[in-house]
Chain A
Amino acid sequence: AQTVTQSQPEMSVQEAETVTLSCTYDTSESDYYLFWYKQPPSRQMILVIRQEAYKQQNATENRFSVNFQKAAKSFSLKISDSQLGDAAMYFCGCVGAQKLVFGQGTRLTINP
C-alpha cells in the first residue's frame, strides 16, 4: 500500500519566478512510479511529469523538474519561469501494485 503527503495546502509565486511543491510518500512496493498531475479550474487532470523509482536521474519536462530523493521518500516539483497558466491544483501520486494513490493537493496561485 502507498501513502502520499503534500504538506503545503496552498502556495503562491510571482510570475516568472520559481516555486517548489513538496511531496513525501511511503510504499511497501519495491517497484513503483511517481507522478505529478495538474488540475486547472476546468477540472481536467493533466500529467505534468513522471519518475521511475529505479532511475536516479531526476525527470524534467521543459519548465518542470523533480527532485527525487529515494532514501528520504521525497518527490518535489520545481516550476521555473512560472506562468499564469500554471495556476492550478497540483497532485502528487505514487503507483505500485496496480493502484495510484494521490496526495491531498497543493493549490498554486500565480501573482502577475
Chain B
Amino acid sequence: NAGVTQTPKFRILKIGQSMTLQCTQDMNHNYMYWYRQDPGMGLKLIYYSVGAGITDKGEVPNGYNVSRSTTEDFPLRLELAAPSQTSVYFCASTITTYNEQFFGPGTRLTVL
C-alpha cells in the first residue's frame, strides 16, 4: 500500500494564479482531510470529507475549494493565490473519525 500520496511536493505560484493539490489514498478510507501548517504552528483544518460526494468546511476554508467524486481522491483547489496561502499542506485519511489519521508527506507552497 502506498498510503496517502500528495502531488506536487513543492510549488511556487505567482499572486493570482490557481492550482490544484492532488491527494490520493489506497486504504479505502471514507474520511479525508486537508490541513495547512504555517511555520512554527500546528495544523489547521481547511476542508474535510466523510465520503464520496460529501464535503464540509473546516477552520480556515476561505480561498480554497474541494471536491470528492471518488473514495480515493480528494483534490484541493486554490483560486487566485495570495501570499497568505504560503504554507505546507497536508492531506490525511482515516477509516473512522476516532481512529488514527494517516498523513501524506505534504506539499510546500510558496506564493510570491
Give a binary string over A83-101; 1 marks a CB under 8 Å from any B CB, 0 the rest.
Answer: 0000000010001001111
A99 touches B42 (CB 8 A): no
Q: Is B43 interfacial (CB-CB < 8 Å)?
A: yes
Q: In whole angstroms, how far apart are the Cα atoms of A91 and B43 in the complex?
A: 9
Contact A102 to B43, CB < 8 A, known contacts A47-B100, A95-B98? yes
CB closest residue in chain B, given A50 = B100
Q: Is A44 interfacial (CB-CB < 8 Å)?
A: yes
Q: In whole angstroms, how far apart are the Cα atoms of A4 and B43 in the complex?
A: 11
**What residues of chain B lie closer than 8 Å to A100, measured between beta carbons?**
33, 45, 101
A91 touches B42 (CB 8 A): yes
Q: In whole angstroms, how far apart are the Cα atoms of A102 and B103 in the complex?
A: 14
**What residues of chain B lie closer than 8 Å to A47, measured between beta carbons?**
100-101
**What residues of chain B lie closer than 8 Å to A45, measured between beta carbons?**
43, 90, 92, 101, 103
Chain B interface size band reads: 20 to 34
Q: Is B74 interfacial (CB-CB < 8 Å)?
A: no
Tell which of B31, B42, B43, B90 touches A98, judged by Cβ atoms closer than 8 Å.
B31
Q: Is A103 interfacial (CB-CB < 8 Å)?
A: yes
Q: In whole angstroms, how far apart are the Cα atoms of A104 and B103 in the complex?
A: 18
A104 touches B31 (CB 8 A): no
**What residues of chain A lie closer than 8 Å to B50, measured between beta carbons?**
98
Contact A105 to B42, CB < 8 A, known contacts A43-B106, A99-B48? yes
CB distance from B37 to the nearest CB of A (A): 9
Give a binary string over A38-63; 1 marks a CB under 8 Å from any B CB, 0 the rest.
Answer: 00000111010010100000000000
A104 touches B45 (CB 8 A): no
Residues 41-71 of B at the A interface (beta carbon under 8 Å) = 41-45, 48, 50, 56, 58-59
A104 touches B42 (CB 8 A): yes
**What residues of chain B lie closer than 8 Å to A101, measured between beta carbons?**
45, 59
Residues 62-82 of A at the B interface (beta carbon under 8 Å) = none
CB distance from A34 to the nearest CB of B (A): 10
